[in-house]
């Protein structure tokens, strides 16, 4: 007998990319950064004394929010921090959407948006991206309480220019959460729109460009009242001390992050041309991953064979994505190894 709440029985869970149980894999499936974080992160963590460890962290994470505010040019009261941006996404639904209201998200996009709507038993509606995975006209007439838009979008890699996002904020009647998890790999960010768009919330993470997926820190930038609402909903100590210190240290070394981003963007070009030479249709990417369409049908066998050869990429058994692989941009060496195996599998 199941004790699960009734509406949860039909929720398809969000399945993140697999973690290999043993080593020896080249891991290009969850968009981690292939380069280490700033050495300052380790220095900061090593400063922690046993006495400090014994106590709870600052529930208002004041040092970190002050640093984020300084780096992104907003007021400290406009910063909300979570245990990864996944927690922030979850809190957005729980804080702002009532059961008779609706979450809207573009499709295909980050699967968690839909899962969160279903988990919270609120309405949900997908706005289908056009044939090039760009925002369709229909997005500008959508209604709902909360709109999720990836910018750049996962898994398509496409970015949305800030002026288009501004138009979207003006047309949407509810809140617009733009998920900028990959924004450091692109040229567009909507931080400058915060002043004029009262319904805009920008989500960022330390998991990608800052190479800190393990510390679980993500944040939202938004109008002060919206941040205050989120603060009332969060667990008291949702960001642990080591993570607060690590994130603060990472922000004090933006040069390190930017140098890593530059390397990844260069390798992205190699990956795209290598895949195109093998016959894949590769969508333009403003992220640290690319979406590659296999012209000969389902990409599942390719994904399986790469896994057998100890290379993990992401395959989505989902409409419009069955013939695609999403491949994280690794180091040059990792990308070379991937292309070599693909050449061998495809006999090219
Ligand atoms: C679009 C998008 N948003 C959010 C996240 C989650 O990031 P975090 O590690 O901060 O929870 C991911 C992770 O892959 C993502 O792709």
pLDDT band at 202 (very low <50, low <70, confident <90, very high): very high
Higher confidence at residue 244 or residue 7? 244
**pLDDT at residue number 22:** 84
The alpha carbon of 76 and the centre of ligand 1 are apart by a number of angstroms equal to 23
Cα 124 from Cα 172, distance rounded (Å): 15
Q: How far is the CA of 131 from the centre of ligand 1 (A)?
A: 24
The CA distance from 183 to 210, in Å, is: 12
**Alpha-carbon distances, residue 107 vs 104, 154, 202, 267 (angstroms):** 10, 10, 19, 27
Q: What does the pLDDT look like over 30-83, one tens digit per residue?
A: 999 999 999 999 999 999 999 999 999 999 999 999 999 999 999 999 999 999
d(CA 46, CA 156): 39
Residue given tokens 């690794």 in the structure block: 330
**Residue identifier of the C-alpha nearest atom 3 of ligand 1:** 181
Cα distance from N-terminal residue to C-terminal residue, the chain: 53
Beta-sheet pairing, 289-293 with 175-179: unpaired
Q: Which pLDDT tens digit goes with each residue over 214-254?
A: 999 999 999 999 999 999 999 999 999 999 999 999 999 99
CB–CB of 224/75 below 8 Å? yes
Predicted confidence band at 322 (pLDDT cuts at 50, 70, 90)? Answer: very high
Does ligand 1 lie within 6 Å of residue 181's CB atom?
yes
Question: Does residue 2 register a pLDDT over 90?
Answer: no
C-alpha separations of 19 from 8, 145, 344 in Å? 25, 35, 25
Tell me: pLDDT of 176 over 80: yes
Are 218 and 88 contacting, i.e. CB atoms less than 8 angstroms apart? yes
What the chain holds in terms of domains, given with CATH numbers, is 20-36+255-345 (3.90.1150.10), 39-252 (3.40.640.10)
**Ordered DSSP codes for 258-272:** HHHHHHHHHHHHHHH
DSSP calls for 194-255: GGT-TTEEEEEESSSTTS-GGG--EEEEE-HHHHHHHHHHS-TT-S-HHHHHHHHHHHT-HH
Q: Within a 10 A sphere around the Cβ of 62, how many other Cβ atoms?
A: 12
- Helix, coil or strand: residue 105: strand
233 φψ region: left (φ > 0), alpha (ψ -120 to 50), beta (else): alpha
The stretch 101-118 carries a mean pLDDT of: 97
Place of tokens 């280490």: 36
Q: What percentage of the chain carries pLDDT values higher than 90? A: 92
DSSP string, 125-164: EEEEP-TTSPPPGGGGG---SEEEEESS-TTT-----HHH
3-state secondary structure at position 106: strand
Distance 224 CA to ligand 1 centre (A): 23
Whole-number average pLDDT of the chain: 96
pLDDT, tens only, 126-142:
999 999 999 999 999 99
Return the closest-CA partner of residue 326 out of 16, 11, 12: 16
Looking up tokens 């395959």, which residue turns up?
A: 315
Q: Mean per-residue pLDDT for 278-296?
A: 96
What are the pLDDT digits (tens) for 85-95?
A: 999 999 999 99
Question: Would you say the CB of residue 31 lies under 6 angstroms from ligand 1?
Answer: yes
Q: Is the pLDDT of residue 1 over 80?
A: no
pLDDT of residue 348: 73
User: DSSP readout, 60-71?
Assistant: T-HHHHHHHHHH
At 292 the pLDDT is 98
Judge if the beta carbon of residue 213 lies within 6 A of ligand 1: yes
Q: What is the pLDDT of residues 138-153, one digit of tens each?
A: 999 999 999 999 999 9
């Amino acid at each position: 007998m199941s004790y699960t709440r009734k509406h949860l029985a039909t929720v398809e869970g969000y399945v993140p990319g697999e973690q290999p149980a043993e080593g020896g894999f080249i891991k290009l499936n969850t968009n981690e950064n292939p380069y280490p974080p700033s050495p300052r992160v380790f220095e900061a963590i090593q400063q922690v004394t046993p006495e400090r460890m014994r106590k709870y962290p600052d529930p208002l994470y004041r040092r970190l929010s002050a640093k984020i505010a300084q780096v992104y040019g907003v007021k400290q009261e406009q910063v909300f921090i979570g245990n990864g941006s996944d927690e922030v996404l979850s809190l957005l639904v729980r804080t702002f959407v009532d059961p008779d209201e609706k979450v809207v998200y573009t499709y295909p996009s980050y699967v968690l948006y839909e899962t969160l709507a279903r988990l919270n038993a609120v309405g949900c509606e997908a706005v289908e991206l056009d044939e090039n995975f760009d925002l369709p006209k229909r997005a500008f007439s959508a209604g709902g309480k909360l709109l999720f838009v990836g910018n750049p979008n996962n898994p398509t890699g496409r970015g949305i220019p800030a002026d288009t996002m501004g138009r979207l904020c003006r047309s949407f009647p509810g809140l617009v959460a733009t998920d900028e998890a990959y924004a450091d790999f692109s040229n567009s960010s909507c931080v400058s729109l915060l002043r004029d768009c009262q319904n805009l919330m920008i989500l960022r993470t330390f998991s990608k460009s800052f190479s800190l997926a393990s510390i679980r820190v993500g944040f939202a930038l938004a109008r002060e009242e919206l941040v205050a609402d989120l603060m009332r909903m969060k667990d008291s100590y949702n960001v642990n001390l080591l993570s607060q210190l690590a994130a603060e240290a990472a922000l004090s070394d933006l040069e390190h992050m930017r140098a890593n981003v530059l390397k990844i963007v260069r390798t992205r070009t190699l990956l795209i041309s290598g895949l195109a030479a093998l016959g894949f249709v590769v969508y333009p990417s403003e992220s640290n991953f690319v979406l590659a369409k296999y012209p000969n049908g389902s990409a599942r066998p390719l994904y399986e064979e790469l896994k057998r050869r100890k290379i993990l990429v992401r395959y989505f058994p989902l409409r419009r994505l069955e013939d695609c692989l999403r491949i994280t941009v690794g180091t040059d060496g990792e990308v070379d190894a991937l292309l070599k195996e693909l050449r061998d599998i495809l006999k090219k």
